[in-house]
Amino acid sequence: MHRDDKLHGLTCVSLTHCIHVHLELQLFTSISLCFLSLPTGTSDPYVKFKIAGKEVFRSKTIHKNLNPVWDERVSLHVETLRDPLYVKVQQTNAKLQMTFFYKIISFLFWLCFLPIRAQDVTLDLKDPQYPEQNLGSLELSVTVSPKEADVRDSVRKLLQLPSQTTFSLHLLLSMRLSDVHRKAQLWRGIVSISLIEGHDLQPMDNNGLSDPYVKFRMGHQKYKSKTIPKTLNPQWREQFDFHLYDEQGGFVDITVWDKDAGKKDDFMGRCSIDLSLLSREHTHKLDLLLEEGEGVLVLLVTLTASAAVSISDLSVNMLDDPHERLQIMQRYSLWRSFHNLKDVGVVQVKVIRAEGLMAADVTGKSDPFCVVELSNDRLQTHTVYKNLNPEWNKVFTFNVKDIHSVLEVTVYDEDRDRSADFLGKVAIPLLNIQNGERKAYALKSKELTGPTKGVIFLEIDVIFNAVKAGLRTLIPIEQKYIEEEPRVSKQLLLRNFNRVRRCIMFLINTGCYINSCFEWESPQRSICAFVLFVIVVWNFELYMVPMALLLPLAWNYILIVSGKDTRQDVVSNDSERKGFMNKLYAIQDVCISVQNALDEVASYGERIKNTFNWTVPFLSWLAIVALGVATIIIYFIPLRYIVLAWGVNKFTKKLRDPYTIDNNELLDFLSRVPSDVQVVGELSTFIFV
């Protein structure tokens, strides 16, 4: 017994010096609070926690109660075990504002740093002015656990200890480690579920069909599939990723529902997946029979390791260790290009600090924390309270599944009673990152259309395998499941319209340039174009198509290398200040242009349809004659000669008849065919007559 105590004490000392901790407090009931109460005989108590002179948490206020029950939980990241935790009980007084009655109570964290489990602590409240007076007591539940990012470094330092001590440490770290991972947002693997289809589901509607959708749940993680209307054999083809915190696996609960508009959805059955029965790094096809219902769900389930997803302090990160960096470089080297194709690379993000943030609180300060997202992976820093220039000094590490992903770093202001306030955001494509460069990024709005207040300092490294990244480009992009619902925006409508207009104008300008060759506006250019056309058509082979697409790529690359970059910077004018009437006229012009464009596109589509359904018999007979002649010509004459004759005629038309008007015979024909709107108008006129 004496030997065990000695070993345990040695382990605790090592942990105290080597490992930062994750502290969780749960505030329960306060028993026998003998407050210096108000004249009403009651108080409005709340509790504040401070570390190193900074307030780290404030409980809610319990009004008019001497035996309040808070039942609140808070998680804190503590840098050292030597700083005491101060607990202060206060009351809110409308007349006296914040009146202090009680002495600060402190206790050392390491007293609670026993095996990782909740420790019940009762604190007696004292006031230095009234040392003999009983002011009541507070009951807390305290859990102190090592941060996962520091465990690796600490284990290295402790390997020199006797084997029994090391065994005691491993035993300590293994206890409820899945809870530590979950609270610190660290997952040990990813469960990828592909919802393929369903067979013979139960009919729930009067028409003998259903509108099924599927809900997935694993712990606190939830997903919902799309609804497939009017079917008993739905085809979903959707994929969902769950974060796996427990090394032993877990259960995924699956329920199937029938979507009903205006009333509660109908339950169609349930099933579950025991992940502990599935081998890792292998895709399993599962046909799951629905319980409490009918039918089968077909799923593909894959368990993959995600050891590179982590959070650590700035002083402990893998890429700063030359040995670990070399191992990672070898892991993604070219000679391992076909090993684990889904593991494209790794990205390390150092979130250092921010400056000049927006003040979100009435005190002129903010409580900022930072969220780092890569596809569906999401990690966040701790909160720095009452600060517009916070320092986080955290390192985030992600697995890269798609090198074309965009790294999003968002700064929020923490609010106790409501959702966090947005302070700013940056979005950085992985391919645009320069490794090891510490850079200040200006924060932007949610839509990334304009700047907001403040900058954030980041240092990012990306290591990836080019072959795996190229192969990953040829498969569908990963869907991001946490996205805001789209909303109607006048500015967004105007911006999208301008984007489409620029693309259309580029095509029109290209067509005008080609047409100018036919019009002989520049004889030298027309002669060169005619000679090139004849040579290409006469000697055309299929390989010339991709070769022609290589030419503009090569030409633009030569211009960029030579310093004559023709790329234009994308400049958004959406943020320009315009008067209300100017904005109104701009929106009106957009609506009219969109209306006319939709009408023209729909009219041509309907005219093609009406040509084939004999709306105007004369035009349909004319189309039969033209298509018959074209069939005979193409059958007897090689296509090369036909294209050559068309080009010669097009180039020489202006020379033969300088006053001819250029036209398109096909469009001229379709303009004679009525659209559906014109057909309905003519029909109604005929009935009226």
SS3 295: coil
502 and 466 belong to one structural domain: no
Mean pLDDT of the chain, nearest integer: 76
> For the residues 449-458, what does the mean pLDDT come to?
91
Angle between helices 490-519 and 639-656 (to 10 degrees): 80
pLDDT digits (tens, 9 = 90+) for 460-516: 999 999 999 998 888 877 766 555 555 667 777 777 888 888 888 988 998 899 888
What are the CA-CA distances from residue 389 to residues 382, 423, 454 (Å)?
14, 12, 9
| Crossing angle (nearest 10°) for helices 523-538 and 490-519 | 90
User: Which residues are CB-neighbours of 614 under 8 A, at least 6 positions away?
Assistant: 620
CA dihedral 631, 633, 635, 637 (to 10 degrees): -160
Among 241, 272, 305, where does a domain finish? 305
Query: Are residues 467 and 598 located together in one domain of the fold?
Result: no
Are 110 and 236 within one domain?
no
Whether residue 577 is predicted with pLDDT greater than 70 in this model: the reply is no
Residue 327, token pair as written in the block: 């191992």
Whether 401 and 383 share a structural domain:
yes
Strand partners, 266: 258
Dump pLDDT digits (tens) for 340-350. Answer: 888 899 999 99
Separation between Cα atoms, residue 464 and residue 281, nearest integer Å:
20
Query: 434 and 326 in one domain?
Result: yes
User: Is the separation of the CB atoms in 62 and 86 below 8 Å?
Assistant: no
- pLDDT tens, position by position, 48-83: 777 766 666 777 777 777 778 777 776 666 666 656
* Amino acid in the structure at residue 461: D
Asked whether 448 and 427 are in contact (CB, 8 A), the reply is yes
Confidence of residue 16 (pLDDT cuts 50, 70, 90): very low
Q: Which domain holds residue 296?
A: 189-305
How many other C-beta atoms are found inside a 10 Å radius of the C-beta of residue 424? Answer: 25
In a domain, 551, yes or no: yes
| 140 and 33 both lie in a single domain | yes
Q: What distance lies between CA 425 and its chain's CA centroid? A: 13
Residue 513 lies in a domain: yes
Residue 333 lies in a domain: yes
Whether residues 417 and 494 share a domain: the answer is no
Give the model confidence (pLDDT) of 632-688 as tens digits: 999 999 999 999 999 998 888 888 888 777 778 888 899 899 998 888 776 655 554
Q: Are 120 and 213 in the same domain? A: no
∠ CA(22), CA(28), CA(30), 5° rounding?
A: 130
With pLDDT > 90 as the criterion, what percentage of the chain qualifies?
A: 24
Q: What DSSP line would sit under 496-562, residue for residue?
A: HHHHHHHHHHHHHHHHHHHHHHHHTSSHHHHHHHHHHHHHHHHT--TTHHHHHHHHHHHHHHHHHHT
To 10 degrees, the CA torsion angle through 399, 401, 407, 409? -50
* 448 part of a folded domain: yes
- Separation between Cα atoms, residue 272 and residue 268, nearest integer Å: 14
Confidence of residue 33 (pLDDT cuts 50, 70, 90): very low
Q: What is the pLDDT of residue 340?
A: 80
What is the model's pLDDT at position 315? 61
Secondary structure of residue 217 in the 3-state scheme: strand
Task: Tell which of 441, 473, 505 closes a domain.
Answer: 473
Q: How many structural domains are present in the chain? A: 5
- Give the model confidence (pLDDT) of 175-200 as tens digits: 344 454 444 445 566 787 889 899 99
In a domain, 26, yes or no: yes
Residues 423 and 367 in one domain: yes
Q: What is the pLDDT of residues 310-336, one digit of tens each?
A: 566 666 666 777 888 888 888 898 888
Evaluate whether residue 161 is within a structural domain.
no
CA–CA–CA angle 491, 480, 337 (5° rounding): 125
Helices 2-18, 163-174: inter-axial angle, 10-degree rounding:
70
Whichever domain contains 82, its CATH number is 2.60.40.150
Confidence of residue 567 (pLDDT cuts 50, 70, 90): low
Give the chain's radius of gyration (CA, Å): 35
Same-domain check for residues 292 and 356 = no
The two beta strands, 45-51 and 21-31, are unpaired
- Mark whether 434 and 547 lie in a shared domain: no
Whether residues 438 and 555 fall in one domain: no
DSSP class of residue 130? Answer: B
Does the residue 374 lie in any domain? yes
Confidence band of 272 (pLDDT split at 50, 70, 90): very high
Asked which of 274, 305, 336 is the last residue of a domain, the reply is: 305
Helices (runs of H) and strands (runs of E) counted in the chain: 14, 26
